[in-house]
Amino acid sequence: MAEILLSLTIIGVVAAITLPSLTGNINERTWNTQRKALYARFSQAVALMPSLNGFGTLEGTIGSSGSQSITEDNVAETFVTAGLSKVLKINNICDNEHLADCGIPEKVTPLSGTAISFPAKMSELNENNISFTHLAAAGSSYSTIQFDKLDTKAAAFETANGESVAVFYNPVCTSSMDESNMILMQNKMCANFVYDLNGTKGPNTYGKDVGVITVFYPTDSLVVSPQPYPQDAASGTSASISVSGVCKNLDSEYRLPTKEDLASLVINKNIVGNLSAPRYVSSSFTSNASNMWYLHVPTIGCYHMEWGDVDVSIRCVKR
């Protein structure tokens, strides 16, 4: 009897040590599979929509730069009911006042590790989604440009597969270029989705059951869902840092971000967390930055680098 009890005790200790790790690994694999399936369904649905802009009615004022500054509207809900629900199986749709009824958690935890309230409108994803002032290069001179953008309220829905999704919508998104060598990616963002794969059930953490899907350009839309490495993979100056192989050295699934990947991360800065470095890099360069795209945190301007040494950081992503 003593030998049996000793054996059971040993089995119990081993189980207590190994089960949490085993359960965590199973959850990670499940989330990865579900995340990829969700991205595939959204990509297929968006491809079926002739255009992503123009849904809903707008109410608001005209900003100082001549663009609309919207604070109260229901365009995200209209986008779901009149557009997305026609091409994607949706079980339940919730307005801004009832996001929890669609399984949206009250709080989420970004990569920084400190839980935040779930964003209810565009500015709560990143305050600089709405307005900022930037000194932009224009040929051989510089000009100050003020941006005032839409602060649309989120709506939410539940998919047929049980995911909870919050929708942040820009009804006046465009594909046009802006301002010399600068692309204002918040103009190009048509729809941004923050999803929770298992609703209010934990851990409600970005990179695990919580993630983002961002859709750029109203027609021929591009859907991205970057999963960033938790920290910068490398940092230095454009003359001293080489991006060759730096992401693959982390993991074979990681790669350099595209400018849309970068824009998605910064649009969702508060949800993502850990975006503190001054510039994030995509594209290839070694001793010069002539082919480099970067995003300046916390603003959303996406730039084509055309000048000398600057401090840069590389944040690798996987899909």
Q: Looking at the structure, do residues 76 and 215 belong to the same domain, yes or no?
A: yes
From 175, 198, 225, the end of a domain falls on 225
Say if 189 falls within a structural domain.
yes
Q: Looking at the structure, do residues 39 and 92 belong to the same domain, yes or no?
A: yes
Q: Looking at the structure, do residues 155 and 84 belong to the same domain, yes or no?
A: yes
Q: b/e string for 10-21 if b means 16 or more Cβ within 10 A?
A: eeeeeeeeeeee
pLDDT digits (tens, 9 = 90+) for 29-65: 889 999 999 999 999 999 999 999 888 766 554 444 4
Q: Looking at the structure, do residues 71 and 188 belong to the same domain, yes or no?
A: yes
Specify the pTM: 0.83
Percentages helix, strand, coil for the chain, rounded to the nearest 5? 30, 30, 45
Q: Looking at the structure, do residues 104 and 34 belong to the same domain, yes or no?
A: yes
Say if 39 falls within a structural domain.
yes
> Among 13-17, 158-162, 314-318, which range has the highest average pLDDT?
158-162
What local confidence, expressed as pLDDT, does residue 112 receive?
87
Say if 288 falls within a structural domain.
yes
Backbone angles phi, psi at 150, to 5 degrees: -70, 135
Average pLDDT of the residues in 227-232: 88
Rounded CA separation 151/127 (Å): 9
Q: b/e string for 184-206 if b means 16 or more Cβ within 10 A?
A: bbbbbbbbbbbbbbbbeeeebbb
Q: How many CB atoms within 10 Å of residue 263?
A: 26
pLDDT digits (tens, 9 = 90+) for 186-226: 888 999 999 999 988 989 999 999 999 999 999 999 999 99
Rounded CA separation 190/182 (Å): 18
Q: Looking at the structure, do residues 207 and 120 belong to the same domain, yes or no?
A: yes
Say if 312 falls within a structural domain.
yes
Average pLDDT of the residues in 118-138: 78
From 190, 225, 260, the end of a domain falls on 225
What local confidence, expressed as pLDDT, does residue 258 receive?
85
Rounded CA separation 207/32 (Å): 9
The residue among 84, 94, 214, 86 whose CA lies nearest residue 155 is 94
| Residue-number span of the structural domain to which 218 is assigned | 22-225
Residue 88 corresponds to which tokens in the numbers above?
A: 């994607």
Q: Looking at the structure, do residues 213 and 248 belong to the same domain, yes or no?
A: no
Rounded CA separation 252/245 (Å): 10
What local confidence, expressed as pLDDT, does residue 81 receive?
94
What local confidence, expressed as pLDDT, does residue 62 receive?
42
Overall number of domains in the chain: 2
Reported as a pLDDT band with limits 50, 70 and 90, residue 288 is very low
Please report where in the chains the tokens 């600068």 appear, as a residue: 182
Q: Looking at the structure, do residues 61 and 81 belong to the same domain, yes or no?
A: yes
What local confidence, expressed as pLDDT, does residue 156 receive?
98
What local confidence, expressed as pLDDT, does residue 298 receive?
54
Q: Looking at the structure, do residues 39 and 163 belong to the same domain, yes or no?
A: yes
Q: Is beta strand 164-169 parallel, antiparallel or unpaired with respect to 182-184?
A: unpaired
- Contact predicate 50/219, CB 8 Å: yes
Q: Looking at the structure, do residues 135 and 274 belong to the same domain, yes or no?
A: no
> H/E element holding 282?
strand 279-282
What local confidence, expressed as pLDDT, does residue 8 receive?
65
Rounded CA separation 96/154 (Å): 6
